[in-house]
Amino acid sequence: MAHRAAIGIFDSGIGGLTVAAEFSRQLENEDLIYLGDTARLPYGTRSPKTVARYAERAAGALLKYPIKALVVACNTASAYALDHLKAATDVPVLGVIQPGARAAVSAPHGGKIGIAGTAGTIASGAYQNAIRAQDPNVETVQMPWPLLVSLAEEGWIDNRVARLTLATYLDTFVEAEVGALVLGCTHYPVFKNTIQEVLASDFSGVQIALIDSAEAVTEELRALLQENDLEAPHRAGRRSFFCTDAADRFKRVGSTFLGEDLASVTTIDL
């Protein structure tokens, strides 16, 4: 029976679809149930208490389904609600911050790691704490990049405005000479290529390793499933998508993030 259970994933909106996309590529046998809490997005500028309340509701909706792991595919919710969610259920709960921090510390960072994220994630200090817990000798530099969420949702991934915005934001990290940069918001990985191009064109090709926590959490989830003998048998995993408002927009913009069409999206109330 456990083998028929799905992976539950939630985010405030479409950003977490970059995590779902990574699961789709690397854990293709698994059934995925994705919930985007589009009626309450963005989480990134809200207070810790409000984010925790919203995350609890979203998690509760997923836990009504037979799920074998719950992935909080939102950095702000991972920062403010993970411990609380873990305490509230027996289902294993994974956030994106610990895996991202581990991946950053393992990267060639040269002693200094940059962290970009929403206002909420940066204010929480969650990545700083997680990185220092892994390696107290690493220096961290952090900065909110709030515009990227809107740029991504506008589909302005590699136009002149996106490049100029990234050049403005990257300047701080290049000045600080970070060796690795955590893309601490699930919207940001769609800009990976553009960031590399801007580093090449505007910053003399300086090398900065980009840390995508979607990749890191996929490895962690794979290990969890293997260790607990919970892997799905060989088959094509099913994908179900839910959101809490504006399903048309979720479906349309979401396809950029998932990298494929969202077959169908169901709106639910939380």
Q: Which of 39, 98, 94, 99 is nearest to 72 (CA)?
A: 94
The reply on whether position 209 binds a second copy by CB under 8 A is: no
Beta carbon nearer to a second copy, 159 or 264: 159
Q: Site for a second copy (CB under 8 A): which residue of 246, 256, 259, 268?
A: 246
- The catalytic residue among 35, 74, 210, 232 is 74
The reply on whether position 63 binds a second copy by CB under 8 A is: no
The crossing angle, in degrees rounded to 10, of helices 17-26 and 213-227 is: 50
Looking at 24-32, 59-67, 145-153, 194-202, which segment touches a second copy (CB under 8 A)? 145-153
Beta carbon nearer to a second copy, 129 or 267: 267
How is 168-190 classified by DSSP, letter by letter?
HHHHHHHHTT-SEEEEESTTGGG
Q: Site for a second copy (CB under 8 A): which residue of 6, 33, 74, 151?
A: 151
Q: Site for a second copy (CB under 8 A): which residue of 10, 40, 130, 214?
A: 40
Which residue shows structure tokens 């709960």? 93
Buried b (16+ CB within 10 A) or exposed e, 16-41: bbbbbbbbbeebeebbbbbbbbbbbb
Question: Active-site residue 185, yes or no?
Answer: yes
Looking at 26-34, 38-46, 170-178, 205-213, which segment touches a second copy (CB under 8 A)? 38-46
Helix, strand and coil content of the chain, in percent to the nearest 5, comes to 50, 20, 35
The reply on whether position 147 binds a second copy by CB under 8 A is: yes
Looking at 59-67, 95-103, 156-164, 196-204, which segment touches a second copy (CB under 8 A)? 156-164
| 182, β-bridge pairs | 115, 211
Beta carbon nearer to a second copy, 156 or 241: 156
- The catalytic residue among 116, 185, 195, 221 is 185
Question: Active-site residue 243, yes or no?
Answer: no
205 Rama class: left (phi>0) / alpha (psi -120 to 50) / beta? left
Q: What do you get for the CA distance between the two ends of the chain, in Å?
A: 27
Number of residues in contact with a second copy, rule: CB under 8 A?
A: 25
Amino acid identity of residue 39, one-letter, is A
CA distances from 198 to 201, 216, 219, 264 (A): 5, 24, 28, 36
Contact, 224 vs 92, CB < 8 A?
Answer: yes
Beta carbon nearer to a second copy, 40 or 102: 40
Beta carbon nearer to a second copy, 119 or 209: 119
Provide the binding-site residues for a second copy, judged by CB under 8 A.
Answer: 38-40, 45-47, 50, 119, 146-147, 149-151, 153-154, 156, 159-161, 164-165, 168, 245-246, 249
Active site positions, annotated: 74, 185
